[in-house]
């Protein structure tokens, strides 16, 4: 058999330079106990070659890279109110349908369009605290890139090129690393792409899985709309036949087209299987066309900045794609071209979608890197492979984030220092809080009512977000503070509003820490009410 021949060849190389006649004579005349170590070594090598071939080492390299890029910090201010929503759902067996966390929009109608993704994060928190939440996000990111590696290999046929493509895409995708609900959406996207890739290459695939996939996706995250668009692009690319330079299109057979149309229509119908009906299905369109302040002012909705490292990586990607089109006879399918153009527009226009671009462009990069030498089993070194894999696993176990480490990281970004003060002396009036801290404060002390948090939609609808942005710009702050009867302000030390209030005689510092400053208004209208006890110094 071929497998046995490869092992025999390896032994011959090992004994190169030895008189083969004498070696054969010794092999048959020496006692069996002296020959046993050689047999044992060969048997061990055979099993290690099965368990730890070089592709496993490369796969672990991809996993280790995801771990390195994700292990630090919590990274997403939304996670706190996601946990709070899930806690409410599991305690009361119903979804919150109106705001319960703020005093500015209390009672306003609100839909929790990501409820199904919140439950796993809450269960992870119940199981392991912050470390549990972080571990779930690491596992999700690893699953995404393992699926992407499989997709790249099925597309390119070159495993080494696929690993290189996934490693490059990792640096584009870091924009959404962290305990985020959208990670579930990207898991679903990978599953969708694997099914459709199989259908494109073999003419058959389990398309019946796609409608229930979209049902889950719609209840998990609004990124289901991206999946529907990508599904539509892949189906539409097969409606034409032709060749335009290096781009070619192969049409579907009538049977294939009929199956795709049925799967797409059933998937569109499955979107409405949710607790909020059409309101949840329409939410992504509401975000795109109604939430103007959200799109304009939230950091992840800005365009790519080519002056930072991530922007330079995107620029490098564009150069690679351009050069490959100019100097190589690299064939493009119409599907690849249309998907690339769609995701390039999305990723360059809104930095949030660089993760989407990373997923779509990775198989294309793997095909461009087809000059990477293929894996050759006869040259494999299973003992070395085993040592490297075990070393990477041991390193990840050793450096796996702990709750204590994550708490220290959180304390550098959030006002953990003020929590004991607020618990001991609850505010005696409305408090203006920093936008990114709202969810964190409410999760850690549910008695507090926030001015604003990162649920941008509900605050934009009510006009509160615009008032908050005006406060950040110190634009008529007194009138806005009076409008909401603000008595306390909890803000970062280096914000312009903080500086302005510190130098206003009507305000005094109640607590000053490394991250935050708590100020109290001392005007005439507040003199007759009880004040919080002062803690700390200016």
The answer to whether position 406 is within a domain reads no
Q: Are residues 320 and 204 in the same domain?
A: yes
Closest CA to 110 of 96, 129, 125: 96
Domain co-membership, 187 together with 150 = yes
Q: Is the pTM of this model over 0.75?
A: yes
Are 353 and 432 part of one and the same domain? no
Which residues of the chain are under the pLDDT cut of 70? 1-41, 44-45, 524-538
Residue 458 lies in a domain: yes
Confirm whether 238 is domain-assigned: yes
User: Kind of pairing, strands 488-492 and 516-521?
Assistant: antiparallel
DSSP run (H or E) holding 56: helix 54-70
Classify 321 in phi/psi space as left (phi over 0), alpha (psi -120 to 50) or beta.
Answer: alpha
pLDDT (0 to 100) of residue 39: 56
Six-digit token pair at 222? 């609004």
Kindly state whether residues 27 and 75 are assigned to the same domain.
no
Are residue 223 and residue 271 in the same domain, yes or no?
Answer: yes
Number of folded domains that form the chain: 3
3-state secondary structure 403-442: HHHHHHHHHHHCCHHHHHHHHHCCCCCCEEECHHHHHHHH
Which of 33, 51, 69 finishes a domain? 51
The per-residue pLDDT for range 416-446, each reduced to its tens digit, is: 999 999 999 899 999 999 999 999 999 999 9
430 plus 368 within the same structural domain: no
Q: How far apart are CA 461 and CA 348, in angstroms?
A: 27
Q: Would you report the helix, strand and coil content of the chain in percent, each value rounded to 5?
A: 65, 5, 30
With respect to residue 431, please indicate whether it lies within any of the assigned structural domains. yes
Of 390, 422, 447, the one marking the end of a domain is 390
Residue 537 domain flag = no
Cα–Cα distance between 294 and 428 in angstroms, integer? 31
- Residues 27 and 173 placed together within one structural domain of the fold: no
Q: 112-132, pLDDT tens digit by residue?
A: 999 999 999 999 999 999 999
Neighbours of 277 (CB within 10 A): 11
Give me the domain span that covers residue 257. 54-390
- Same domain for 176 and 86, yes or no, is yes
Q: Is the dihedral of CA 225, 228, 233, 236 positive or negative?
A: negative
Which residue carries 């970062």 as its tokens?
492
Return the sign of the alpha-carbon dihedral for residues 286, 278, 463, 95.
negative
Looking at the structure, do residues 13 and 59 belong to the same domain, yes or no?
no
User: Rounded CA gap, 274 and 115, in Å?
Assistant: 10
DSSP letters spanning 368-381? HTTTSPPP-GGG--
Q: Are 192 and 263 in contact (CB under 8 A)?
A: no
What are the phi and psi torsion angles at 391 (to 5°)?
-65, -45
Q: Assess contact for 369 and 158: CB atoms under 8 A.
A: yes
3-state secondary structure (DSSP) of residue 243: strand
Q: In this predicted structure, what is the pLDDT of residue 41? A: 55
* Residues 448 and 334 occupy one common structural domain: no
Q: Which position has the token pair 């605050």?
A: 459
DSSP states of 145-186:
HHHHHHHHHHHHS-HHHHHHHHHHHHHHHGGG-SS-THHHHH
Residue 126 lies in a domain: yes
What pLDDT is stored for residue 525 in this prediction?
62
Is 521 in a helix, a strand, or coil?
A: strand
Same-domain pairing of 103 and 144: yes
d(CA 487, CA 522): 8
Q: 346 in a domain, yes or no?
A: yes
Is 535 among the domain residues?
no
Residue ranges with strand state E in 275-393? 332-333
What does the pLDDT read at residue 8? 37
Residues 97, 120 within the same domain: yes
Asked whether the beta carbons of 304 and 347 are under 8 A apart, the reply is yes
């Amino acid at each position: 058999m071929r497998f046995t021949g490869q092992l025999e060849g390896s032994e011959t190389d090992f004994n190169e330079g030895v008189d083969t006649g004498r070696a054969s004579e010794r092999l048959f005349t020496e006692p069996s106990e002296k020959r046993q170590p050689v047999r044992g070594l060969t048997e061990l090598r055979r099993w290690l070659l099965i368990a730890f071939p070089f592709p496993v080492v490369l796969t672990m390299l991809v996993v280790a890279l995801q771990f390195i890029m994700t292990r630090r910090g919590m990274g997403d201010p939304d996670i706190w109110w996601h946990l709070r929503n899930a806690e409410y759902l599991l305690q009361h067996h119903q979804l919150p349908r109106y705001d319960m966390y703020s005093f500015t929009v209390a009672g306003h109608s609100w839909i929790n369009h990501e409820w199904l993704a919140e439950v796993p994060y809450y269960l992870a928190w119940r199981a392991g605290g912050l470390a549990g939440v972080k571990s779930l996000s690491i596992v999700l990111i690893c699953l995404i890139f393992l699926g992407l590696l499989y997709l790249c290999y099925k597309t390119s046929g070159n495993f080494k090129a696929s690993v290189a493509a996934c490693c490059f895409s990792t640096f584009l995708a870091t924009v959404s690393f962290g305990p985020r609900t959208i990670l579930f959406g990207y898991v679903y996207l990978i599953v969708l792409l694997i099914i459709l890739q199989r259908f494109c290459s073999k003419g058959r695939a389990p398309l019946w899985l796609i409608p229930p996939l979209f049902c889950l996706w719609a209840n998990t995250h609004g990124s289901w709309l991206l999946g529907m668009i990508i599904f539509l692009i892949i189906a539409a690319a097969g409606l034409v036949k032709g060749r335009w330079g290096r781009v070619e299109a192969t049409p579907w057979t009538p049977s294939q087209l009929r199956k795709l149309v049925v799967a797409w229509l059933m998937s569109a119908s499955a979107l409405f299987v949710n607790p909020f009906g059409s309101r949840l299905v329409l939410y992504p369109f509401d975000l795109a066309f109604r939430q103007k302040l959200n799109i304009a002012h939230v950091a992840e909705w800005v365009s790519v900045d080519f002056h930072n490292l991530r922007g330079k990586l995107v620029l490098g990607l564009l150069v690679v794609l351009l050069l490959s089109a100019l100097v190589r006879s690299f064939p493009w399918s119409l599907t690849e071209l249309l998907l690339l153009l769609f995701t390039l527009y999305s990723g360059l226009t809104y930095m949030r979608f660089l993760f989407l671009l990373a997923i779509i462009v990775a198989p294309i990069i793997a095909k461009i890197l087809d000059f990477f030498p293929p894996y050759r089993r006869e040259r494999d070194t299973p003992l070395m492979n085993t040592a490297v894999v075990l070393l990477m696993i041991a390193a990840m176990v050793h450096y796996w984030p702990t709750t204590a480490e994550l708490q220290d990281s959180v304390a550098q970004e959030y006002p953990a220092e003020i929590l004991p003060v607020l618990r001991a002396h609850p505010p005696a009036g409305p408090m203006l809080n920093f936008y990114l801290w709202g969810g964190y404060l409410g999760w850690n002390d549910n008695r507090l009512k926030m001015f604003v948090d990162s649920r941008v939609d509900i605050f934009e609808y009510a006009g509160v977000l615009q008032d908050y942005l005006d406060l950040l710009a110190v634009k008529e702050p007194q009138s806005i503070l009076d409008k909401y009867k603000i008595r306390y302000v909890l803000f970062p030390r280096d914000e312009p509003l903080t500086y302005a209030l510190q130098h206003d005689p009507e305000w005094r510092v109640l607590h000053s820490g490394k991250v935050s400053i708590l100020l109290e208004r001392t005007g005439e209208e507040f003199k007759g009410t009880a004040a919080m006890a002062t803690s700390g110094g200016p």
